[in-house]
């Protein structure tokens, strides 16, 4: 393939992608829901994340973060399962394809080994909107 052919092929591919994005505007940027946990004292977080979506599908356990593309609206159940005694910060952030965001942060959360912190996460793709509440603490 000579240089002119390579340039022509590259230009054609670029035009094809640009036209696809014009027809399907949501194809470039997806809606996301990100949940992460960090230790406040350094090192690995003292807990793991387990997320159950509105349809009952479960993600986790994850040691640092959960990233959902195109999440469904509804009530999610988030559990932080204590793997050691420590202090964590929980971050939740939702993004729309247009760049709008909604975020919630729970700083200075004390957890013990074997404890489970339960959170209700109400997510709405409209906006997006996040309403998050810690509902209870139970032993594992």
Q: Give 91-132 pLDDT, tens digit per residue.
A: 999 988 777 888 899 999 999 999 999 999 999 877 788 889
**Distance between CA 118 and CA 132 in Å, rounded?**
10
Residue 94 has a CB neighbour count (10 Å cut-off) of 24
Domain ranges of the chain: 1-28, 31-139
Closest CA to 32 of 104, 79, 120, 102: 102
Determine the Cα–Cα distance for residues 123 and 7; give it in Å rounded to an integer: 45
Q: What does the pLDDT look like over 8-24, one tens digit per residue?
A: 555 555 555 545 444 44
Q: Would you tell me how many other CB atoms lie within 10 Å of the CB of residue 68?
A: 18
| pLDDT one-digit tens code per residue, 14-67 | 555 545 444 444 444 578 899 999 998 888 999 999 999 999 999 888 888 999
Starting at the earlier edge strand, list the strands of the sheet with 86-95.
65-69, 32-39, 86-95, 101-111
Is residue 93 a contact partner of residue 56, using CB atoms and an 8 Å limit? Answer: no
Q: What percent of the chain has pLDDT over 90?
A: 47
pTM of the model: 0.74
């Amino acid at each position: 393939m000579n240089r002119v052919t390579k340039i022509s092929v590259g230009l054609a591919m670029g035009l094809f992608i640009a036209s696809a994005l014009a027809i399907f505007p949501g194809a470039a940027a997806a809606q996301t829901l990100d949940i992460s946990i960090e230790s406040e004292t350094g090192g690995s977080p003292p807990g793991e994340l387990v997320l159950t979506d509105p349809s009952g599908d479960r993600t986790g356990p994850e040691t640092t973060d959960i990233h959902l593309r195109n999440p469904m609206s509804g009530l999610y159940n988030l559990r932080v399962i204590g793997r050691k005694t420590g202090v964590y910060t929980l971050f939740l952030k939702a993004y729309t394809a247009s760049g709008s965001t909604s975020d919630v942060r729970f700083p200075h959360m004390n957890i013990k080994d074997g404890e489970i912190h339960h959170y209700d996460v109400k997510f709405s793709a409209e906006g997006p909107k996040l309403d998050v509440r810690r509902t209870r603490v139970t032993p594992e």
